[in-house]
Amino acid sequence: MAETVHSPIVTYTSMLSLLASCPPFVILLFIFYIMQMVHNGSSGWFCWLINIWPTPTSIVWKIIFCDGAFEAALQLLLPGKRVEGPVSPTENRPVYKDNGLGAYFVTLATYLGLWWFGIFNPAIVYDHLGEIFPALIFGSFIFCVLLYVKGHFAPSSSDSGSCGNLIIDFYWGMELYPRIGKHFDIKVFTNCRFGMMSWAVLAVTYCIKQYEINGRVSDSLLVNTILMLVYVTNFFWWEASYWNSMDIEHDRAGFYICWGCLVWVPSIYTSPGMYLVNHPVELGTQLAIYILVAEILCIYINYDCDRQRQEFRRTNGKCSVWGKAPSKIVATYKTTASETKTSLLLTSGWWGLARHFHYVPEILSSFFWTVPALFSNFLPYFYVIYLTILLFDRAKRDDDRCRSKYGKYWKLYCEKVRYMIVPGIY
């Protein structure tokens, strides 16, 4: 059953607002942000938007299908280490094949190879973004409908069920770990192999398109692309830890997660680079290096936060955190089967600064790969603002979930680690 953090009226209002506004917003972003079209007053706003609204063509469906099929094949066929996920609320333990980094390098090598040998020009992808986005919006919506139907009639495990409300079931999802057959994990595909992989592919695409236009790549777009690729490379290198994150471990496969990864990540997360294609900025060597160093530091801190927590869990607290034995709280909780279990809550290292301190370098990372656009236009910073809101909301949801799970132990944890995200502030 889906759990909600906010009051019912806030929950329903926010869900319906996002369901109604997110799909058209992606297209509006493209229209005003990339096409730079403005209403000329010759007709009403609605008629004007209808006239210029991009519609998918056959080439776009072919691009999306080939990309999806290629990534699905890599997910299934590439070798990888067997990795067990966390035990679910109904005592299931999902098993994954850790081959994301291999799939990432094969994808980029294939994409660049097709361009280098003149088989496929990635600039075509940029030229058809206006059609790709509505195709993703429509196709992903149908995909989420199918997930809803599957959750009702053919769930993959006992980690599924309905809360009795169609809107909540569709938005938050019916299944925690939906699969096709035994080995094809749907959330790994949507979140990692399509969403995150598209981020890297589009970052490279924007560089190739600007090179085609100007005969060179500006240092601002180069910095943006390098930083995004470093971030995505780190994600796939550490992909197994993502399978222990809130996205996989707690959020079900519905519109919120799956549509977001299939549509929002390729369109919104890549938008700073998309903007820089036609708005190049010359940063100069010194400023470019400052931005690169600051971002790489943020990515490292983000990685080390995850590494610290994973090592603490793996060793059952018998490890070193910043050169000392870790401070911890031994918390007990009851499962859905009323069994009593124990968890260790880390209260030192990065996790002693704030309960969700790892969101600080995450937000700063988004700022540093956007700041090469400088400040002549507000639009590139939409992603930074959106991510900040998303992560603050996620921190609250996670806090409320842990408070419900651990009770008095979570209260003790909050007394020891007082701040939710920003040490000394919030």
Q: Say yes or no to pLDDT of 44 above 70.
A: no
Query: Could you tell me which of 266, 90, 64 has the C-alpha nearest to residue 175?
Result: 90
Spatial neighbors of 330 by CB under 8 A, at least 6 apart, are 342, 343, 344, 345, 409
Taking only the tens place, the pLDDT of each residue in 121-149 is 999 999 999 899 999 999 999 999 999 99
pLDDT of residue 213: 94
Q: Say yes or no to pLDDT of 49 above 80.
A: no
Q: Give the chain's mean pLDDT.
A: 91
- Return the bridge partners of 340, or none: 334
Q: Which of 148-157, 335-344, 368-377 shows the lowest mean pLDDT across its residues?
A: 335-344
Share of the chain above pLDDT 90, in %: 76
Q: Say yes or no to pLDDT of 75 above 70.
A: yes
pLDDT band at 40 (very low <50, low <70, confident <90, very high): very low
Taking only the tens place, the pLDDT of each residue in 216-240 is 999 999 999 999 999 999 999 999 9
Segment 31-43 shows an average pLDDT of: 53
365 CB burial (10 A radius; 0-12, 13-18, 19+)? buried
Residue 83, classed as helix, strand or coil, is strand
Paired tokens of 219: 């240092």
Q: What is the DSSP string of 195-259?
A: IIHHHHHHHHHHHHHHHHHHSS--HHHHHHHHHHHHHHHHHHHTHHHHTTSHHHHTS-SSIIIII
Distance CA 43, CA 39 (A): 8
Taking only the tens place, the pLDDT of each residue in 165-223 is 898 999 999 999 999 999 999 999 999 999 999 999 999 999 999 999 999 999 999 99
pLDDT band at 20 (very low <50, low <70, confident <90, very high): confident
Task: Please give the single-letter amino acid code of residue 333.
Answer: Y
pLDDT of residue 23: 85
Taking only the tens place, the pLDDT of each residue in 347-399 is 999 999 999 999 999 999 999 999 999 998 888 999 999 999 999 999 998 99
Distance CA 30, CA 34 (A): 5
pLDDT of residue 33: 60
- The pTM is what? 0.90
Q: Say yes or no to pLDDT of 292 above 80.
A: yes
